[in-house]
Amino acid sequence: MKIVRFAAGRKTGYGILKNDKIERIANPYRSLKGTGEFFKLSEVKLLAPCLPSKIIAIGLNYYSHAKEVKMDVPKEPLMFFKPSTSVIGPGDKIVRPAGCQRLDYEAELGVVIGKKAVKVSKEKALDYVLGYTCFNDVTARDWQKIDSQWARAKGSDTFSPIGPWIETELDPDNVSVEAYLNGKQVQKGNTNDLVFNTVALVSYISNVITLLPGDVIATGTPAGIAPMQSGDVIEIVCSGIGTLKNTVA
């Protein structure tokens, strides 16, 4: 099932996407029952599929990426925050901040939380997941090297493209995660290469930080990180989900 968030004229709402039609639903965190109101996909604008109170991103979580940057994999998940104000949706523009010299893409699988999660066990972790989406952990790489904290490098406005929807039926341990820059494949990995998988992350994070409905865990990026330039088109492709496409302003 594909859950979307969309704008139709002055209306915004959530819906279930079936082929080229969207049936409105009231609130995906309470019920997925349709309201009987339909919209054509071609007549709406897809928005970021969730409005997270916070994004918890995980660094160095692919063995391939750790090897690429010549760093040891962490013994525990390396967490950092990206603010809600950094979120944009499919088709929106990624804006390079003034002074940023290198702006990178990072293709990731996003895990969307479905209900309040506090001290969740690994056995019950997936019960708290609404579904999965494509995520681009946009990074000002030069700022990341300069700053001791990553708030500026990872959390600037437009640095969290999410979408195009939330897929509820997916095996998170076997998802191909790819990035295409101007149509050329630049990243290709699989979540079976994660150091800490979805189950481990939901449990670990919820034992120290309360996760709320709509929050996103960005699970990390595989090898292949590189810069984007103004005018570039970046596509994040996750198997079983779809394609998140944005341009760089």
CA distance 217 to 39: 30
Nearest to 113 by CA among 170, 162, 55: 55
Cβ atoms 132, 172 nearer than 8 A? yes
pLDDT at res. 243: 98
pLDDT at res. 122: 98
Sequence-ordered alpha helix ranges (H) in the chain? 63-68, 141-146, 151-155, 198-206
How confident is residue 18, by pLDDT bands cut at 50, 70 and 90?
very high
Is the whole-model pTM more than 0.95?
yes
Dig out the tokens for 23 from the structure: 């049936």
pLDDT at res. 230: 96
For CATH 2.30.30, the residue range(s) in the chain are 2-46
Q: Residue 66 contacts by C-beta under 8 Å, 6 or more apart in sequence? A: 60, 72, 73, 195
Percentage with pLDDT > 90 across the chain: 98
pLDDT at res. 93: 98
Mean pLDDT of the chain: 97
Strands 11-18 and 2-8: antiparallel
How confident is residue 30, by pLDDT bands cut at 50, 70 and 90?
very high
pLDDT at res. 161: 99
How confident is residue 124, by pLDDT bands cut at 50, 70 and 90?
very high
**C-alpha distances in Å from residue 151, one per residue of 76, 81, 148, 215, 249:** 20, 7, 9, 18, 21
- State whether CATH 3.90.1150.10 applies to domain 55-248: no
pLDDT at res. 133: 99
DSSP class per residue in 13-62: EEEEEETTEEEEEEETTTEEEEEEEEEEGGGSEE--S---S-EEEEES-B
For CATH 3.90.850.10, the residue range(s) in the chain are 55-248
- Positive or negative: CA dihedral 115, 119, 122, 124: negative
Range 2-46: architecture per CATH: Roll (2.30)
When pLDDT is averaged across residues 203-211 and rounded to a whole number, the result is 98
When pLDDT is averaged across residues 149-157 and rounded to a whole number, the result is 97
When pLDDT is averaged across residues 189-207 and rounded to a whole number, the result is 98
How confident is residue 180, by pLDDT bands cut at 50, 70 and 90?
very high
Structure confidence by residue, pLDDT tens digits, 59-101: 999 999 999 999 999 999 999 999 999 999 999 999 999 999 9
Q: How many residues does the chain have?
A: 249
CA distance 126 to 49: 19
Greatest CA separation for the chain: 53
CA distance 99 to 104: 14
Count other C-beta atoms under 10 Å from residue 99's C-beta.
9
User: What residue type is assigned to position 26 of the chain?
Assistant: A
pLDDT at res. 22: 98
Phi (first) and psi of residue 59, to 5 degrees: -95, 150
Percentage with pLDDT > 70 across the chain: 100
